[in-house]
A and B are shown apart, each in its own frame.
Chain A
């Protein structure tokens, strides 16, 4: 099965070509104009998607060395995400498919993050425990065969990536600041300052990061000069607090699920401290941890195509001309 996939749920316009589960191309165009506004502006994002979608799709087809006529299906993210941006991807994808008499495979964005790890070689075995951690989501899920899911817990306020970005703003690191915290933390001591690990002993699988955000805010107000002088230490300590919670809860969930395989997905899975912590967990020999390669961690169309390829084997292939985005689509 040769699939063209489209992703436009937030601020990345992406198109990919997948053939029999192999990625032939994966073009990602990230929108940088949101930096000056300190967050993604949906209307500007939607306009940029509409401006670039044909060129990105063209590039993906060209790089795959295939022709439009070789395509057998078009996959597209239809939620969750921002309405304006999703509308562009969904309407472009289904009309492109219609013009070539191809079926459309609607894909859930969160679900596709989990399947970013289903590449050649080492593949997770179902059932597994999945941690989806990004700027918009933080949730733990048990993934069963036949695309069935059981949500174990999720964030009650900020997503982990959102906490990283908001704390980075307080530290004057701009937006998106998560990767900058990661960079600065490399030369800092993770035990230099003590920040709370919210809900780490709550006994359930929910998360909360707004308390940590407030704790950092108070700390910065009271220790402005110290924080400024020891910025790498602050970054390392904040990062350790977030990573500790994510790892501890994931481990608790894996124990409950009695699954050996743990899959990490979403933009924050590119965080080096998180990757290191999960690699150490794997070294214990009790668990197999799957971390997507960095290019498949953030939003991209290849993961959409990888999931669509698996779904195409078990679900009916339809034109879905009526498909509309569902911004709050659940897994």
Chain B
């Protein structure tokens, strides 16, 4: 079994392969606004560098969001094209599940610590989820202040953003900038492998990114002049 994972939710474009023998390889590039030209050549290189072709791949795991609408659109449309052409299943990996997967590297401390994950959703909003002892909370979109107030027990906030959040956090709370530091595609590949082994996959046609933040359109008033 071989899983190909795709990560495009942030300025990073990453891909990774995971087989029965463990991690096979990964590529990660920081390419803001260039995912569309970088992603497929990157997949092609990753496969050929490891003497593999798409026909060796059992399923495609794609980071499903939340995150950049454009990034997710490119990742998911690429995953859909590969899966439909090769006739293989698609597995959606929510960003926070992939982040929870790399928890030891992120927290670098005892397991009982609660970690908060945040992704900059712009206009002051943050997508987030908290990894508690009981597991990962459902993803939500809220103001930063709300995230802090409602989760006093979180000692580490890990965020995908180009802002420095440390200044905004109370003393003793640590902020870690995620951007480009870890290969989320590797985590997605590992998780995809695990889920696919358990028989999990998503229906190809109906699959859509996790947008969370509603897209609000103003309905214009009636412009009729008669």
Contacts and interface: CB of A to CB of B under 8 A. Distances in A.
Interface in A229-286: 231
**In terms of DSSP, what is the predominant structure of the interface of chain A?**
helix
A87 B217 CA distance: 21
**Chain B, interface residues (CB within 8 Å), range:** 35 or more
B205 A220 contact: no
A91 B74 contact: yes
B108 to A, nearest CB: 36
A89 B78 CA distance: 9
A41 interface: yes
A87 B226 CA distance: 40
A91 B73 CA distance: 9
B223 A170 contact: yes
A87 B72 CA distance: 11
Contacts of A83: 70
B77 A43 contact: no
A321 B43 CA distance: 10
Contact of B73 (A50, A169, A224): A50
A98 B82 contact: yes
Interface of A: 36-38, 41, 43-44, 46-47, 50-51, 53-55, 57-58, 68, 83-84, 87-100, 169-172, 217, 220-221, 224, 227-228, 231, 321-325
B226 A227 contact: yes
A50 B77 CA distance: 6
B102 interface: no
Contacts of A88: 73, 77
Contacts of B43: 95, 98
B224 A96 contact: no
A87 to B, nearest CB: 5
A228 B226 contact: yes
Contact of A87 (B36, B41, B86, B222): B36
A37 B226 contact: no
Nearest to A216: B225
B48 to A, nearest CB: 12
A58 to B, nearest CB: 8
Given A46-B73, A55-B205, A221-B225, A90 B36 contact: yes
Given A38-B223, A170-B225, A228-B226, A99 B215 contact: no
B212 to A, nearest CB: 13
A87 B73 contact: yes
A92 B90 CA distance: 14
Given A99-B85, A323-B36, 16 more contacts: A44-B215, A83-B70, A87-B74, A88-B77, A93-B81, A94-B81, A95-B40, A98-B44, A99-B84, A170-B223, A170-B224, A172-B226, A224-B225, A231-B226, A322-B37, A324-B37
